[in-house]
Amino acid sequence: MNRKTLSFLAVISGTTFPALADTIHVAPCGDDSWTGASPVCAAPDGPKRTIQAGIDASTDGDIVLVADGVYRGSGNRDMDYGGRAITLRGAGGASACIIDCQGSASEPHRAFHFHNEETTASVLEGFTIQNAFEPTDVGFGGAIICETGVVLIQGCIFRGNQTYVGGAIYAGPSELEFVNCDFVDNTATHSGGAIAQDAGGTIVFTNCTFRHNTTTNPAGNGGGGVICASAEASFDRCLFVDNSGARIGGGLWATGSAVSLTDCTFIGNSAPNRASGCALSAGTTAALVNCLFASNTGAPGVGALWVGDGLCCTSSVIMANCTFSRNGTSSGTGVSVTQTSALVASNCIYWDNASPILTEPSTLVWFSHSDIEGGWSGSGSGNMNADPLFADPDAGNFRLSGFSPCIDSGDNTALPAGVTTNLDGYPRFRDDPWTPDTGVPGGAGGSTIVDMGAYERQDPSCTADLNADGLVDFSDYLEFLNLFGADDPRADFNHDGLVDFSDYLEFLNHYDAGC
């Protein structure tokens, strides 16, 4: 060796390196609490017999690797990380590694209890957790309780959990983030059919679905899907479908919170009091952009969206480019604002709901550049009372057809900075050369004016795309024949005020051109 090499080695030998992470194996190897098989059972040192034992044997940075199988009984439920920054991983993924909590009313159990200020360095990955149960009269968090800490949950499905508050998850003053998660068929007696966020903290949802979650006690607080109390909550590209609140807020109830809802959809939710889709109350401040409320049902006076004081204080909501249609049946409505609360809305469509927008004398409700059935007598300019000509509302398609008066009629300056796409994720500010520009230019759109509602009419060369599904196909041809036969103005393809054979020829030209 030469002197240079020796000198280099001396530097290395004087450097302190962090300890390498250990991998701790879990496989009960024939224990009655486990169903599975693993080659680690033949290892000389042997694996840990329960998941909790593997956690307890770990230190920060370790990986606890759990063999495939079904895990039951003590040590495999009601588990606690104890604040450790470890990765707990199912070896074969969620389909092969199952934690069966075997919870029941007489013997309630959950899978994990995060309450020691764990952060995103504490990882749970690759498990199916089933049959979690907390008492329906006193329990919290049927699957997970997080009293404090920072938690990131990605790509998870929470199904069929039940308890008193927070059917699947209960969170205290924590920082939680959910990405690509589904919450299905969870139940809470009192509040938060899927999730209850309480006592402050922040919670963020991105691309999450809440479906068929419920609360069951009419005396409870409600929030069939989610309840946020005194929290900061953000929902981006989330879907609330067929959730039910026994009292208020079939899909979501935010009370005393700061909330943002962007590109969210509320369909088929129900509640008997105040809000069938989304309730914002007790001093909540909220911003809604590109949201759709459709076919949500409630009792008389119940809106798909409710903004109110509740038992406390004024709530205030700013809303842009939202669509409300077919909410309520023989009763209920799309929007209700009560007590002293305020709603300021721009570029919205309110059409074909069971009743008009409901307000009280002490509320502040202001619409501008919006299409409101029956008109709007409050302040604001650019409002209209005209059929928005949705593409196919009977099929739940509330995109704009090529002849909608809502095209190029919004106010660019009402959209928050950075919003450049619609509910579908397609670009905003698409000009339609067939439609006069009646809105307000500026902002990110420049001289190209935004459409009203949650959806932006896309490529104008697709005028023949009558169902606005991005394709020009035989279904559009059949739709044109229906419109033509009914002398519908949407069939006036040459814009001469008549529906005749020349429009049929013009449609064929567009049909051949495609998108």
- Pairing, β 232-236 against β 258-262: parallel
pLDDT of residue 433: 81
Count of alpha carbons within 13 Å of 199, Cβ hemisphere only? 8
Helix (H, G, I), strand (E, B) or coil at 196: strand
Its domain, for residue 468, covers: 460-515
Q: pLDDT at residue 188 above 50?
A: yes
How confident is the model over 1-8, as a mean pLDDT? 27
Scanning the structure block, which residue is given the tokens 């090529």? 402
Cα 99 to its chain centre, rounded Å, is 26
In angstroms, rounded to a whole number, what is the distance separating the alpha carbons of residues 43 and 479? 68
The reported pTM is 0.84
Residue 68 counted as domain residue: yes
What's the domain count of the chain?
A: 2
Q: Which helix (H) or strand (E) holds 65?
A: strand 63-66
Helix (H, G, I), strand (E, B) or coil at 142: coil
- Residue % of the chain over a pLDDT of 70: 93
Helix (H, G, I), strand (E, B) or coil at 470: coil
Residue 82 counted as domain residue: yes
State the alpha helices, DSSP H only, in 421-468.
none
Strand spans (E) along 126-200: 128-130, 144-146, 150-154, 157-159, 162-165, 169-171, 175-179, 182-184, 187-191, 195-197
In angstroms, rounded to a whole number, what is the distance separating the alpha carbons of residues 375 and 175? 43
In angstroms, rounded to a whole number, what is the distance separating the alpha carbons of residues 13 and 418? 52
Farthest CA pair distance, the chain: 96
* Other C-beta atoms lying within 10 Å of the C-beta of residue 374: 11
Residue 357 counted as domain residue: no
How confident is the model over 55-62, as a mean pLDDT? 96
Q: Say if CB 37 and CB 69 are below 8 A apart.
A: yes
pLDDT of residue 244: 96
* Other C-beta atoms lying within 10 Å of the C-beta of residue 189: 23
Residue 3 counted as domain residue: no
pLDDT tens string 316-367: 999 999 999 999 876 678 999 999 999 999 999 999 999 899 999 999 999 9
Structure token digits, residue 221: 């607080």
pLDDT tens string 464-496: 777 777 678 888 889 889 888 888 877 887 767
Residue 367 counted as domain residue: no
Q: pLDDT at residue 158 above 90?
A: yes
Scanning the structure block, which residue is given the tokens 């504490």? 122
State which of 102, 119, 134 marks the end of a domain: 102
Across the chain, what does the average pLDDT equal?
88
Residue 216 counted as domain residue: no
Question: Of 350, 346, 405, 404, which Cα lies nearest the Cα of 373?
Answer: 350
| Confidence band for 12, pLDDT divided at 50, 70 and 90 | very low
Strand spans (E) along 357-447: 364-368, 371-372, 390-392, 397-400
Strand spans (E) along 237-357: 239-241, 252-255, 258-262, 265-267, 270-271, 275-281, 285-289, 292-294, 297-298, 303-308, 316-320, 323-325, 333-337, 342-346, 349-351
In angstroms, rounded to a whole number, what is the distance separating the alpha carbons of residues 380 and 330? 30
In angstroms, rounded to a whole number, what is the distance separating the alpha carbons of residues 153 and 156? 7
How confident is the model over 14-40, as a mean pLDDT? 73
Amino acid at 249: G
Q: Say if CB 202 and CB 233 are below 8 A apart.
A: yes
Q: pLDDT at residue 5 above 50?
A: no
pLDDT tens string 373-409: 999 987 789 999 999 999 889 989 899 987 899 999 9
Structure token digits, residue 482: 């229906």
Structure token digits, residue 408: 């190029």
Residue 366 counted as domain residue: no
pLDDT of residue 459: 66
Structure token digits, residue 334: 């799309």
| Confidence band for 19, pLDDT divided at 50, 70 and 90 | low
State which of 73, 102, 131 marks the end of a domain: 102
Helix (H, G, I), strand (E, B) or coil at 490: helix
Question: What phi and psi values does residue 139 have, to the nearest 5 degrees?
Answer: -80, 160
CATH classification of the domain holding 505: 1.10.1330
Residue 486 counted as domain residue: yes
State which of 35, 68, 102 marks the end of a domain: 102
